[in-house]
Amino acid sequence: MSFRVDFIEGSRIALRSLSAHRLRTVLTTVGVGIGVATLLAILGIIQGLNTSFEKQLETIGPSSLYVSKRPWVQMGNWWEFRNRKNITMEQVEAVRAQSTFAEAVAPWMSNEEDISFNGIDLSAVDITGTTPEYAQVGGYDVTQGRFLTGSDDDNLASVAVIGADVASTLFPHSSPLGARIRVNGRPFAVVGVLAAKGKVLDENQDLTVLIPLKTFRALHNGYRSHTIGVKVRSPELLDAAEDELVGILRRARQTPPSKPDDFAINRAEQLAGVYNQLTGALYGVAVAIGFITLLVGGIGIMNIMLVSVRERTREIGVRRALGAKKRTIVLQFILEAVVVSAVGGLLGTIVGLLGAKVVSWVTPLAATVKASTVFFGVGFAAAVGLVFGIWPAARAANLDPVEALRHE
Amino acid sequence: MLIQLTDIHRTYQVGQEKVHALQGVSIGIEKGEWVAIIGQSGSGKSTLMNVIGCLDTPTSGRYMLNGKDVSHMVDDELADIRNREIGFIFQNFQLLPRETALANVELPLVYRGVGAKERRAKAIEALKAVRLEERMSHKPNELSGGQRQRVAIARALAGEPSLLLADEPTGNLDSATGEEIVKLFETLHGQGHTLVLVTHEPKLAARCPRAVRLSDGHVVADGPGAQVARA
Ligand SMILES: Nc1ncnc2c1ncn2[C@@H]1O[C@H](COP(=O)(O)OP(=O)(O)OP(=O)(O)O)[C@@H](O)[C@H]1O
Ligand SMILES: [Mg+2]
């Protein structure tokens, strides 16, 4: 007897047996469904979080390199980083002159300061002194007015381009353009407003004030280190551009060949590492909970299959007496388990996806679901049925036909 | 010779003890014979039936069925032999309760891999042979005891086996219905079917051309039914 015949007959028997015990089938199905739903909802939320983080990362420029004294993600000796030589304007010029991959190079310095307008105060706002190229490097757009210009810098103008949140806080009812805000007590004329960018790992990119670099330097007498933002022509060139930058900077900083780099070249990807570190363990636990729920569903299936085998012992004996082989019986019971689980998987998938959607409506968590998740849900449930159906099915097939026929 | 049993032993291990259900049974049965197996309760009748039907394998001895040595066959081969060579008829009918009479009769053909159309045709033919074709879409619980046993006989006939094996086929029926079934066996015997029938009713055994008496797992008599049944 061929597998095809076994399969057709097995499926028919499985469906008949399932419809004969509707309540039991429904309960078992629900068990698997809950497991799959939990797992998928968790996976959906995790996928959503990851996607929204990836979007955040894009706001800080996926094709930019950031040269600074210290790496963003610090590992090792803080004192060693602190004692490094500052990044100077000469080094900025060297990068501008020599980098072949750079599309735009922007130096900047920043500090947290208090600002105010018309009696409204904002403390600890990021004040950044920079040049016009900053817009390109950091991917900033202007919604009102204009960005900083070269002549703002040459003239040490007291002008400011403000972030979206600064604008909405200080100017709830009026246009900020032309207004004079105070930064650390000094007046600055607002010439532009930046488009909103959102947060990256809790750092609000919209709570910022940009002023000309030379103006910033004049206000902060102390000698500070620059950060150099380098926008590369395309993201694939990041590695080559980084190698080139290392060479340029080592020469400009006269780093002895025997010493390691005394500066850091950062990129958005590095933050992904931090993110993964922060969230990885949490995700692991969440997924494990989902799997345990599914495991409980699987044990439910095994239990019901064992009951089914016991109830149908005589039937098994009859089938064996009439010529059914062991593998035919195995297939019959496994199909029964797989059908229950797959149906449960399908229902669970639908509920899980809805659950993830509901979570994204009622909480700030964004849940996204890939099409592959659906196949995963149904396929995984079917696999659970297979695994937990094997043992009961094997028990059924290994019954002695004579004993089985005598079973009450 | 359709069946040739030579020195068949079947020993059960019950805890520490050994139960010798069959102790050196040797019989031959020709094609077309109708043989009754009789004996006291516990004498080994059912055990012998199970061995002949390839549901059970002897502990020792040789069993030739239709020219094939089945004593050393593996499970899958035995399943095929049961499917093709044997038609079982049980005391308690052993029909599948959720299936119709027709589906029950089709079952051996399903396991033989016969296509749906041919299967149905053969099953209907078998139901006609037991005069139950009008009840083919009934489920077992919608049939009387005698009708159920006729469905079971149709199922045994459907696969056109070389041997029909019946263990107490009238044991669960009243005498009138039992008589109906025995008449059916007589017809089948007349058509050339080979029948082996276990019974504890001497009257029934007396109507069989041949009977074998078992006692304690031994063959103690083998001859014309009327003669062996009287002893
Ligand atoms: N599975 C088993 N395990 C142990 N002993 C068994 C088993 N099956 C049968 N026996 C024993 O083998 C012997 C023969 O049993 P069998 O069922 O063949 O008798 P029988 O002639 O059919 O009796 P009855 O007329 O009551 O049906 C008995 O002593 C019985 O107890
Ligand atoms: Mg018996």
Residue spans per domain, chain B: 32-43+74-230
Q: State which residue of chain B sits closest to A21, comparing Cα positions.
A: B98
> Across residues A189-196, what is the average pLDDT?
94
**CATH superfamily of the B32-43+74-230 domain:** P-loop containing nucleotide triphosphate hydrolases (3.40.50.300)
pLDDT in tens, A133-192: 999 888 889 999 999 999 999 999 999 999 999 999 999 988 999 999 999 889 999 999
Judge if the beta carbon of residue B199 lies within 6 A of ligand 1: no
Is the residue at A267 inside a domain? no
Residues in A closer than 8 angstroms to B108, CB to CB, are 322-323
Count Cβ atoms below 10 Å from residue A135 Cβ, excluding itself. Answer: 20
Q: Are A124 and A205 part of one and the same domain?
A: yes
Enumerate residues 6+ apart whose C-beta is below 8 A from A100.
Answer: A244
**B104 CB within 8 Å of a chain A CB:** no
Q: Same domain for A245 and A300?
A: no
CA triple A223-A226-A228, angle to 5 deg: 165
CA distance A246 to A91: 12
Query: What is the overall mean pLDDT for chain B?
Result: 95
Q: Write down the pLDDT at residue A82.
A: 73
- Residue pLDDT, tens place only, A1-37: 467 777 888 888 888 888 888 888 888 888 888 888 8
What pLDDT shows up at residue A375? Answer: 84
Q: What atom of ligand 1 comes closest to residue B12's alpha carbon? A: 4
CB A133 within 8 A of CB A105: yes
Residues, CB within 5 angstroms of ligand 2 (ion): B 46
Please choose, from the candidates B37, B53, B75, the residue with its C-alpha nearest in 3D space to the C-alpha of residue B161: B53
Mutation pick for ligand 1 pocket among B46, B49, B165 (CB with most ligand atoms within 8 Å): B46
Number of domains in chain A: 2
Positive or negative CA dihedral for A164, A165, A170, A172? Answer: positive
Q: Where does a domain end: A197, A230, A262? A: A262
A346 and A402 share one domain: yes
Same domain, A240 and A295: no
User: Which domain-ending residue is among A238, A262, A286?
Assistant: A262
Return the minimum-mean-pLDDT range out of A41-50, B64-73, B156-165: A41-50
Other CB atoms within a 10 A radius of the CB of residue A182 amount to 15
pLDDT tens for each residue of A200-218: 767 788 999 999 999 999 9
Sign of CA dihedral A142, A144, A149, A153: negative
Q: Which of A130-134, A368-372, B202-206 has the lowest mean pLDDT?
A: A368-372
A325/B82 CB distance under 8 A: no
Query: Would the CB of B46 count as within 6 Å of ligand 1?
Result: yes
d(CA A270, CA A281): 18
* Shortest Cα distance, chain B CAs vs residue A54, angstroms: 57
CA of B165 to the centre of ligand 2 (A): 13
CB contact under 8 A, A322 and B111: yes
The span from the CA of B231 to the CA of B213, in Å, is 9
Provide the shortest C-alpha distance from residue A31 to chain B (in Å).
Answer: 27
Interface check for A312 against chain B (CB to CB < 8 A): the answer is: no
pLDDT band at residue A235 using 50, 70 and 90 as cut-offs: confident
Domain-embedded: residue A74: no
The per-residue pLDDT for A368 is: 66
Q: Residue A58 pLDDT > 80, yes or no?
A: no
> Are A329 and A209 contained in the same domain?
no
The sign of the CA dihedral A167, A169, A171, A173 is positive
Contact (Cβ atoms closer than 8 angstroms) between residue B59 and residue B11: yes
Q: What's the pLDDT band for B218 if we cut at 50, 70, 90?
A: very high
At A270, the pLDDT band (50, 70, 90 cuts) reads confident
| Rounded distance between C-alpha atoms, residue B197 and residue A355, angstroms | 65
Identify whether residues A254 and A303 lie together within a single domain. Answer: no
pLDDT tier at A276 (50, 70, 90 boundaries)? confident
Domain that holds residue A146: 85-262
Parallel, antiparallel or unpaired: strands B60-65 and B3-14 = antiparallel
Asked if the model's pLDDT at residue A337 lies above 80, the reply is yes
Task: Point out the domain boundary residue: A204, A231, A262.
Answer: A262
**Per-residue pLDDT reduced to its tens digit, A282-324:** 888 888 888 898 888 889 889 989 998 999 999 999 999 999 9
Answer yes or no: do A153 and A209 share one domain. yes
Determine the Cα–Cα distance for residues A272 and A264; give it in Å rounded to an integer.
17
**Could you give the ipTM of this predicted complex?**
0.95
Return the structure tokens found at A381: 């449930």
**Whether A161 and A212 share a structural domain:** yes
CB B180 within 8 A of CB B211: no
Tell me whether residue A63 is in a domain. Answer: no
Decide if A332 is inside a domain: yes
Query: pLDDT at residue A385 above 70?
Result: yes
A39 in any annotated domain:
yes
Question: pLDDT at position A394, please?
Answer: 95
Helix axes of B75-85 and B101-112: crossing angle, nearest 10 degrees: 130
- Which ligand 1 atom is nearest residue A402's CA? 1
- Closest residue of B to A8, CA-based? B110
Q: What are phi and psi of A396, to 5 degrees?
A: -60, -45
Q: Does A405 touch chain B (CB under 8 A)?
A: yes
Q: What is the average pLDDT across A377-383? A: 87
Q: Is the pLDDT of residue B104 over 90?
A: yes
> Does residue A25 fall inside a structural domain?
yes
* CB contact B202 to A (< 8 Å): no
Per the CB < 8 Å rule, is B94 touching A20? no
- pLDDT the model gives residue A277: 79
Q: What is the pTM of this model?
A: 0.73
The answer to whether residue A326 is domain-embedded is yes
In terms of domains, do A354 and A300 share one?
yes
Find out whether the beta carbon of B200 lies less than 6 Å from any atom of ligand 1: yes
Minimal Cα distance from A324: which residue of B? B111
